[in-house]
Chain A
Amino acid sequence: MSVTDVALPAGERFPEPGPAPRTVGALLRSLAHLLRDPGLALALLWVGLVVVAAVAPALLAPGDPLAVDTAAHLHAPSPGHPFGTDRLGRDLFAETVHGTGRTLPAAALATAIGLGAGTVLGLLAGFLRGAADLVIMRLVDVLLAIPGLLLALMLVSVLGRGDTVDVGIAIGVAAVAGTARVMRAEVLRVSESGFVEAARTGGARWTRVILRHVLPNSMGPVWVLTLLLFGEAILGVTTLSFLGFGAQPPTPEWGSLVSSGRDFLGSAWWLSILPGTVVALTVLAANRVSRAFDGERTERR
């Protein structure tokens, strides 16, 4: 193989393209750009705290969350007990922090199922088209026709082992439809692109076209959906455990904490309100971060 010698006048050569933008500096700059928005910075901080609480709760709330202190039951929030204590004198802050370790993994499982199954279904429907598209999308329509929470309730009753894994699976299945639709729309767009035709002309097999070209270029909107879905899953998981599915007492979990405080709303408001606020803030923070990613994506287009 001889390398071809191209006799080009000097001016015919293209100038070297500018420096590649993918450097650590650029990454830091875009991070700084993100943090210029204080609301977003707070949201990121909150998500970070929640993740720490799920992974290493002892860092935020040392001590046993289930330690009973009957002498100090139903104390209002104070410096010693920032969230107050419940009817058995357990520290509500410690319970909330340790409850994260139940709620978050279940929500993560739900998100993974919703994204994974939804992506595969959307990819197949969008790429195969025809009959496969018709069948898959009608199934998705059926899923969409049943309200998500109702579907999840049904599934969790069928699975019926009474732990947070069931709840995660149920919420995840209920979220498949949305992802599948988004994915299908993207796949339809991407498979029309020139580079997919070029890959086919280049002799690529279908599997290679899907995995190397269509999938990576269709995932963008789905990634943005991830955090949004995660927020919704947290809400779904806490709702189901509020209703008594999922983690059984005394295991702390956000939804069951809110639920067990229900009877004391008149006398000890903090029992339901404070864990409930944590849930609300987490969902809001996830939405805010998701929106920021979406904005970044559209800006770059």
Chain B
Amino acid sequence: MSPRLLEVEDLAVHYRARRGPVRAVEAASFAVGEGETVAIVGESGSGKSTTAYALLGLLPKSARVIRGRIGFDGRDLAGLPERRWREVRGREIALIPQDPGTSLNPVQRIGAQVAEALRLSGGADRRTARARTLELLADAGLPDPAVQARQYPSQLSGGMRQRALIAIAIAARPRLIVADEPTSALDVTVQRRILDHIGALVRESGTGLLLITHDLGVAAERADRVLVMRSGAIVEQGTAGEVLSDPRDPYTRSLIDAAPGLAKTPRPHRVRLTAVPGGAPGDPFAEPRPARPPETGGGPDVPVLRVEELVKEFRLPRAAGRATAIRAVDGVSFTIPRGRTYGLVGESGSGKSTTARLILRLADPTGGRVLLGEEDITGTRGAAQRLLRRRMQIVQQNPFASLDPRRSVEQIVTDPLTSFGLGSRAQRRARARELVDLVALPASVLGRRPAELSGGQRQRVAIARALVLNPELVVCDEPVSALDVSVQAQILDLLAALQAGLGVSYLFISHDLAVVRHIADEVGVLHRGRLVESGPTEEIFAAARHGHTRELLDAIPGRR
């Protein structure tokens, strides 16, 4: 094995809190060799980021290293005074931070920020800084360093910003790079290129890399060795192959099961619903009529939603010689059969969320038609538009923003009923109980506020709210992308079970083909506003025709 660069022994970090200490990391021991890539995998709250920040001496004030040794190059970094840390941090151990959107100074040019890192670390003086800066930007994989050095962070895409941060991290030729979720804010195809690049840099220079990630697929694909953390402890440790093929800890096994990209075939859904809550579509308290009422759009043969040649243009501020509008959605057509799921996949900016907003009538299309059942809803406004809300609902991406923080779960779930004045107070309360139970939450959450729930629990509440009116169609806009993998799997199972039990149709929007594979009957791939490919899910996975689809498929971590 290569010589040991970093040796962490029995590390314990606690946070001070009002209710006593929080044990964020307990008894963590691991090592990183020269030129070796070690991945720490865990869900949010597992202590992986705390471990990383302890190695950089960047723990918040409320955190303290209680015990343990951080051996780096023969020294113990634990308990090093702040003044001495400055000699280590940036120079010998560098950080690639998580969020490229906020980690660069927005009012400084990229070149100036890299040059500053160079000068601080003594890597260059005033005269050589410029040339070295351009070299570093080129090393970090920016296509045109001389141009990008003169640009501001807001003029670069997320992937380019992350490359600028990599340039800053490698400025001082550090011996260890800590990458904290370096790609979780980026599109999958960009993620792959960035990870490839970091990997190449590390191999060439013999730098050690500690990769912090929530994605077991990424870890397995990129790392020599993998550590799995759970509630502050390292539960599994070994080479990537060992951990994946022969996990000893049950938690690792559940992570592997939950990782959408690692499964070779879709998982069978484990959750089954046995009965269906009554009521007519749109009004759970109305007596279900024997035949479907004509206004809700005929029998099962009529698809629940048809989208025809949908176009949405956004006007740009007037600029000389430029196009005056961009087409965010460009001639998109698809159909969702009743009780089925249509998956819409694309990278950020591909127009998938705009499509959802057009369908939900939260924005007006520039052209094309949207049909719900047999009714053309493209131009509805006012009262008619409000009535549509009883038939279409939304589950949003971020469960931390989608629930009103000042209202109780019961109020949140029954909000659509109250808005439409449906049912008596007692009926609404009963309906809230029923739905909370349906999404597998204990009845005790009804009195709680969103802040007291975890991300997965909140998303369950959002699903309950979307179903309370018995809608025909639920638009799920990236419903699991803000959640941990194991929670992701539970929510996907729940959505599938609810569909089987209630016959509701989904439009499922995601950037992640692996996730869509587990839930969608049909998939459409959006690229720059155009639907470039559409068809049954397994067909697309088996034989993608369009180049962009293949690129997306290749980018799924752990699939190679």
Contact = CB atoms under 8 A, between A and B. Distances in A.
Interface of A: 1-9, 12-14, 16-18, 20-21, 29, 33, 193-195, 197-205, 208, 212-213, 216-217
Contacts of A194: 396-398, 401-403
Given A4-B275, A8-B440, A198-B394, 4 more contacts: A1-B278, A4-B276, A16-B444, A208-B419
A114 B77 CA distance: 55
B403 to A, nearest CB: 6
Residue with the greatest number of chain B CB neighbours at <10 A, chosen from A5, A14, A21: A14
A200 B441 CA distance: 25
Nearest to B387: A203
A198 B465 contact: yes
A203 B440 contact: no
Given A202-B389, A202-B415, A1 B404 contact: no
B292 interface: no
Nearest to B416: A202
A1 B434 contact: yes
Interface stretch (B26-34, B153-161, B449-457): B449-457
Interface stretch (B93-101, B240-248, B266-274, B305-313): B266-274
Contacts of A13: 440, 442
B452 A20 contact: yes
A73 B497 CA distance: 89
Given A14-B440, A198-B396, A2 B456 contact: no
A20 B448 CA distance: 7
B406 interface: yes
A7 B274 contact: yes
B401 A195 contact: yes
Given A12-B271, A194-B401, A199 B457 contact: no
A4 B440 contact: no
Contacts of A14: 440-442, 454, 456-457, 460
Contacts of B394: 197-198, 201
14 contacts: A1-B431, A4-B434, A5-B273, A7-B271, A12-B270, A13-B442, A14-B457, A194-B397, A195-B402, A200-B362, A202-B465, A203-B386, A203-B420, A212-B404
Which 5 A-B pairs give the minimum distances between C-beta atoms?
Answer: A202-B416, A194-B402, A203-B389, A194-B401, A204-B419
Contact of B457 (A1, A7, A17): A17
Nearest to A21: B452
B447 interface: yes
B456 A197 contact: no
Nearest to B434: A3
A201 B360 contact: yes
Contacts of A1: 277-279, 284-285, 430-431, 434
A13 B431 CA distance: 20
Nearest to B405: A217
Contacts of A193: 401-402
Contacts of B274: 4-7
Contact of A205 (B18, B270, B419, B441): B419
Nearest to A193: B401
B505 interface: no
B402 A198 contact: yes
A16 B270 CA distance: 22
A227 B457 CA distance: 37
Contacts of A16: 442, 444
Residue with the greatest number of chain A CB neighbours at <10 A, chosen from B404, B419, B444: B404
Nearest to A26: B18
A9 B271 CA distance: 8
A200 B277 CA distance: 24
A198 B462 contact: yes
A33 B433 CA distance: 37
Contacts of B222: none
B51 interface: no
Interface in B381-432: 386-387, 389-390, 392-394, 396-398, 401-407, 415-416, 419-420, 430-431
Contacts of A18: 452
Nearest to A17: B452
B296 to A, nearest CB: 16
Contacts of B18: 29, 33
B457 A201 contact: no
B437 interface: yes
Given A1-B277, A14-B440, A14-B456, A213 B393 contact: no
B438 interface: yes
A32 B453 CA distance: 27
Contact of A197 (B362, B438, B441): B362
Contacts of B430: 1
A6 B443 CA distance: 14
A210 B407 CA distance: 14
Contacts of B279: 1
Contacts of A6: 271, 273-274, 437-438, 440, 497
